Amino acid sequence: MRTQGFGGSFEKVGHTLKILLQRRADYNQKDIDSAVNTIFERFGGVERFIKRGASVLLKVNLVSGHVPSARVTTDPAVVRAVACAVLKAGGRPVIADSPGIDSFSRAARVSGIASVAEELNIPCEELTDSLRVSCDGGARYIELSRRAVESDVIINLPKMKTHAQMLLTMSVKNMFGCVVGQKKAEWHYNMGLRRDPFAELLLDIWLATRPALTIMDGVVGMDGQGPTHGKPFSYGLVAGAEDALTMDLHLCKMMGARLDDYPLWRAAVSKNLPQTNLSDDDIAGDFLPSHRWNADIPKLDSLSLVPFSSNALAKALTSRPVHKSSRCIGVQKCGKCVALCAAKAIHFERNHKQDKKLQFDYDKCIRCYCCHEMCPAGAIDFKEGLMMKAGKAISRIRKVWGNWD
Ligand code: SF4
Ligand code: SF4
């Protein structure tokens, strides 16, 4: 695990606070409580968000069942601090998410989040029932969790991580969990190969659910091949913002990624969203806007930069999933990859003696990398496509000749 240094505490007088960055080195409960309470106070007090008796959805990241030290899911200390603040204000918190394929009860138990719910005697529930919601001015409809849509307030509790398909998975993407269960894989399939339409979908979901406040768990997040198979990375951060998109875009830069490489940024630019007018004055707290964590950011196949429409060519250029059979638990015992692949692009050889021989149909595969994300054993890797190789070569040239941006 790598740790980066911190900047000094600062605040620009006379500007509306958009993001508050709180330095926290570990998950000591008292320190996390104080970070969360400070965020509420600085955004006008918890009562501004939580009216007495209000139903409050705490949208955690419970993508799949991982222990807290894996740094995949929202840390229970952060969930506990926020739930306590909501209870104190007279709200009715419900901790909720919809894992892609894992059992919710298992994911909640393993992550330590179920214990928080038991201790505080509050519900911890899977998002199940869906509701059809109009998005993008009626341009499309998305089925979202009824509980998420009908809650009085949503508090978004994402984990600060990199993402092999979407570069980063932060606040806006955390709301994708309001798409119920396997429907997530269907949306990946509907969006196909390109990242930008998927990022536009993420924006639509965020705008439709519009959490009142986002509190980011970045004390120890992840870099590398996130969101489930990266490395723990100590950002030392608890961040709060009313506008999740503004937070994500600023943190993208601070993590050391290029905004142009971030599909969410490109989607926000194409939608002409005001959040793309980033200013250092948006940020206050314990890190300067110029702070850089220099996390290991995944390289994406930047298909959006190439003006072609042929899916066959796109697939040839894009990295593809490959099976590491030595790590595989076996399809009979696990089989998550086969079950979740919406493209039906994964098969296994039934007669293979070890039950660990997966076959990919790369013509059907849409390179969503959900199989990589959900494999509990890290048994699905990538074979770099030509686009990725070219991107790496350009990065090397940039390093030699200096940054051309
Ligand atoms: S094989 Fe993996 S990357 Fe390809 S479509 Fe299926 S889940 Fe997505
Ligand atoms: S590759 Fe991963 S998800 Fe698929 S069967 Fe093996 S262990 Fe399970």
Domain ranges of the chain: 19-285, 320-383
Residue 338 CA: nearest ligand 2 atom is: 4
SS3 string, 202-241, reads HHHHHHHHCCCEEEEEECCEEECCCCCCCEEEECCEEEEE
In angstroms, what is the span from residue 165 Cα to ligand 1's centroid?
11
Residue 356 CA: nearest ligand 2 atom is: 6
pLDDT at position 1 is 46
320-383 folds as Alpha-Beta Plaits (3.30.70)
pLDDT at position 405 is 44
In angstroms, what is the span from residue 11 Cα to ligand 2's centroid?
48
Residue 337 CA: nearest ligand 1 atom is: 7
Tokens representing 83 are: 């739930």
CA pair distance 246, 239, nearest whole angstrom = 12
Is 124 in contact with 154 (CB distance < 8 Å)?
no
CA pair distance 157, 145, nearest whole angstrom = 17
Identify which of 228, 337, 352 to mutate to test ligand 2's pocket (most ligand atoms within 8 A of the CB). Answer: 337
Residues 6+ apart with CB under 8 A from 167: 252, 257, 261, 262, 263, 264, 297, 298, 300
19-285 folds as Rossmann fold (3.40.50)
pLDDT of the chain, 405 residues: tens digit per residue: 433 334 456 666 556 789 999 999 999 999 999 999 999 999 999 999 999 999 999 999 999 899 999 999 999 999 999 999 999 999 999 999 998 778 999 999 999 999 999 999 999 999 999 999 998 888 889 999 999 999 999 999 999 999 988 999 999 999 999 999 778 888 888 887 778 999 999 999 999 999 999 999 999 999 999 999 999 999 999 999 999 999 999 999 999 999 999 999 999 999 999 999 999 999 999 999 999 999 999 987 654 545 445 667 777 778 889 999 889 988 888 999 999 898 999 988 766 566 678 899 998 998 888 899 889 999 999 887 776 676 667 667 766 766 544
Could you say which ligand is closest to the alpha carbon of residue 380?
2
- Decide: 329 in ligand 2 pocket, CB within 6 A: yes
Is 150 in contact with 161 (CB distance < 8 Å)?
no
Domain 19-285 shares a fold with domain 320-383: no
pLDDT at position 399 is 67
Could you say which ligand is closest to the alpha carbon of residue 372?
1
Ligand 1 interacting residues, C-beta cut-off 6 A: 321, 341, 343, 345-346, 360, 365-371
Residue 346 CA: nearest ligand 2 atom is: 4
pLDDT at position 94 is 98
- Decide: 375 in ligand 2 pocket, CB within 6 A: yes
Q: How many CB atoms within 10 Å of residue 157? A: 30
Is 69 in contact with 62 (CB distance < 8 Å)?
no
In angstroms, what is the span from residue 139 Cα to ligand 1's centroid?
27
Query: What is the Rg, in whole angstroms, of the alpha carbon atoms belonging to the chain?
Result: 21
